[in-house]
Amino acid sequence: MRTMPVPDRRARILEAAERAFAESGFEGASLRQIVLAAGVNLATVYYYFGSKKGLMEAVLKRRFGPLRQEQLDRLRQSEQAARGRPLSVETILEAMLLPPLRLAVCASAQRQVVMRLIGRIATEPNRQTQQLLRGQHEEVRTAFQDALRRSLPKVPAADLRWRIEFVWGALAFVLCNRRRIEKEAADTRDPVDTDRVLSEMTVFFAAGLRAPTLTEGCR
């Protein structure tokens, strides 16, 4: 409070915008609603970010840069530790899934917002928003696809690409619908924490990724 006499308007805008975009999407959220929540003047947005699109870009960069980096770092670290041997599917999945799932840790409302934003963008078509993220996600996608290919040499490349799509899709959906899932889980006193979700996903996806293909040898 005293050490931070400037209320850091830029950061407050970013947080409010993140929440608004996650809840209402890019078009659905309005700058007026954002600046109201952030307690700043409308013109401040334009001073710091230039435009609504610029604000969205800043929101995404702030979150997805570190997230992507953490996924890649985990993968690289596991690969170094394995010293050339292929990683287990479970290890690769953990590197993929844990960073986004940890962001969505239960109690923190702010973090849940981020995850909804991720899930939402994953299905938002044909927008400037998409291209913005696609480039970054491409690198992650490729890295994990290569790792999985080494770990699953028997799965044809074309099938593996499909399977990886299923993993990303299920992840995006879970992140996006976390609130509903938690509510439903509460009825059955079933705890929803990061480890639990990670474990569920790892078991499920590892089995799916390893499944023998119907067409094995025929293509």
* Interaction partner, residue 90 (DNA, its own copies, none; CB < 5-8 Å by kind): none
Find which of its own copies, DNA, none residue 28 binds, CB within 5 to 8 Å per kind.
Answer: its own copies
Closest to DNA by CB, 56 vs 197, is 56
31: partner contacted, choices DNA, its own copies, none (Cβ within 5-8 A by kind):
DNA
Long-range contact pairs involving 193-200 (C-beta distance under 8 Å, separation at least 24): 193/105, 193/106, 194/98, 194/101, 194/102, 194/104, 194/105, 194/106, 197/101, 198/94, 198/97, 198/98, 198/101
- For tokens 């996608």, the residue is 141
SS3 191: coil
Which is closer to its own copies, CB of 44 or CB of 130? 130
8-state DSSP, 115: H
* Tokens matching residue 164: 């990886």
41 touches DNA by CB under 7 A: yes
Burial category of 192 from C-beta neighbours within 10 Å (exposed 0-12, middle 13-18, buried 19 and up): middle
Cβ distance to DNA smaller for residue 52 or 163: 52
Nearer to its own copies, 22 or 67 (CB): 22
The span from the CA of 98 to the CA of 74, in Å, is 9
CB of 47 to DNA, least distance (A): 4
In order of 89, 94, 173, 178, 188, the CA distances from 193 in angstroms are: 22, 15, 16, 11, 15
- Comparing CB distances to its own copies, the nearer of 75 and 160 is 160
Determine, following the binding rule CB under 7 A, whether residue 68 of this chain makes contact with DNA.
no
How many residues make contact with DNA (CB under 7 A)?
A: 20
Q: Residue 59: which residues within 8 A CB-CB, separation 6 or more?
A: 14, 17, 18, 21, 117
Positions in the binding site for its own copies (CB under 8 A): 22-28, 116, 119-120, 122-127, 157-159, 161-163, 165-174, 176-177, 179, 181, 184-185, 188, 190, 197, 199-201, 203-215
When binding is defined by CB under 7 A, the residue of 32, 154, 183, 210 that contacts DNA is 32
* Site residues, DNA (CB under 7 A): 6, 9-10, 29-33, 40-44, 46-48, 50-53
